[in-house]
Chains A and B, each alone.
Chain A
Amino acid sequence: MKKNDFYLLGSIIILIAVGFLLMQLFKNEGSRLIVTIDGKEYMSFYLNEDTTYKIEHDDGEWNTFEIRDGYVKMIDASCPDKLCVKQGKAHYTNERITCLPNGVVLEIFGGEESDLDAIAE
C-alpha cells in the first residue's frame, strides 16, 4: 500500500462520519408518512393514527405496511427480495423504507401532528 492509499481511506472515513453526524443532527420525531410510487405522491398518513394499508399496483404487485405506536413497518410485499420488509421500522424524519422492485418509498416527515391543528390556525 502507498501512503496515498491511507490518505484516501482516512478522508473517506471522515466523509462518512460527517454524513452520519449530519443525519443524526437533523433527526427529528416524525409525524407524517408520505407514500410515493415511482416518484409521485400517492397517499399520506399520520403516524399517530394506527393503521394497516395495502398498496395495490396496476401490474398486480402489492405492498402492505402498518403504522403502530408512531412507527411504520412494511409487513409484506410481492417483491422477490423482500428487502423492504427486512428494512424494519421507520419513525424519525427522513427515515425511509424503500421497495425498489415496486418503486415504493415510505418516507417520514415532521411537521404538524394532525389535520385539526392546521385547520384551527
Chain B
Amino acid sequence: MDLTKKTLLDMLYYMKLTREIETRIERKLYRQGKIVGGVYVGRGQEAIAVGSTILLEKDDCICPSHRDMGAYLIRGMSPRVIFAQYMGRKTGATRGKDANMHMGDMSKNIVAFVSMLADTVPVAAGIGLSFKMRKQKQVVLCFFGDGATSRGDWHEGLNLASVQKVPAIFICNNNQYAYSTPIEKQMAVKDIAVRAQAYAMPGRTVDGNDVVAVYEATKTAIDLARLGGGPSLIECKTFRMTGHSAHDDVKYVPQHLFDEWEKKDPILRLETSLMRDKIATEEDVKRLAARIAREVDEAIALAENDPFPEPHEALEGVYADQVIKPPLSIADAFFPQRK
C-alpha cells in the first residue's frame, strides 16, 4: 500500500473538519436561524468524499453531491466561503444565489450540484469527453447517492461514458435511504456495483466507512482512467447517521441501525487504526480536534460579518452580456408620459 503517513493524517484532518463544519451548520447555525432553507449533511459518510478526492491532481475535476463536503474542502474551497454560502452572504460560493451544498468554482474544477439527482452524471461524462478530446490525462470524480441511481440520467450518463471510454469515476454513497425510502424499495439488486456490468465497466463494492478501502478502490479506478481504460463505478456502502435533512425527525429508521453503524464511525475507525499503528497519539488527535474547532470558529466569525448581497444583484448574472431589467421598469418608463 502506498498510503503515506502524511496522506493518512491529511485524510483524518479533512474528515474531522467535515464533521465539525457540518455539526456547526446543522446543530448550531441552522437552529439559531442563521441558516435558512434546507440543510443536508453527510454525518457518518465522511470517508467517501475524503478517501477519493484526496487522490486528485490540480487539473482533475469533481462533481460532488450533497453529502460530500470533504470533496469541496480538499479542492480548496475555504470554510469561510462555505459558511458564507450557507448564510446567504455575498462572499459565498454563489454570492447568495443558491443555497447549501450547491457550490461550484471552476477555478478549482468544482462543478456545482443541482437538486435533480444524477444530473451531474451525464455532465461528468462530458467533462471526461473533453479530457479525452484534448488528449489530457485528467480524470473526473462524480458523486451521488443510492437514490440517484434510479434516475434515467444516471443510466444514460454511465452508458455514454462507457461507450466513449471517458476518464470518469462514478462514486456512490450508498447510505441505504433515499429520503425515507429504504434501499429494498428503490431497487431489486443487492449491490449497486452490479449495475456496472450493464455498462461494461469495472464495478466494485467497498466499505464506505473505511477511508483506506475507499482510497484504494478509487486509486485503482483513477489509474485505469488515466491510462485510457475508461470509467469505473465504485459503490461505497455506508449509513446516513441523520435524517435526510435538518428538519427530518428520521422516525422511519429503526434505532438499532443507528446503534450498529455508530460503532462503525469512519472517523473513530481511522483514529483507532492510526493510534494502533503509532502514526498518531491520543494527544495528537486531541490537538487536531482543537485546531479544527479554532479554524471553524474563525471561519464562522468571518462569514457572519460578511455582507449580504444588494437586493438588485438578484438581476445580475443570468447572461454574460446583459443584466435583466426589473419588471417595474415598465411602469417607471410609461406612466411619466401620461402626466
Whether A and B are associated in the same complex: the answer reads no
A residues contacting B by CB (< 8 A) are none
B residues contacting A by CB (< 8 A) are none
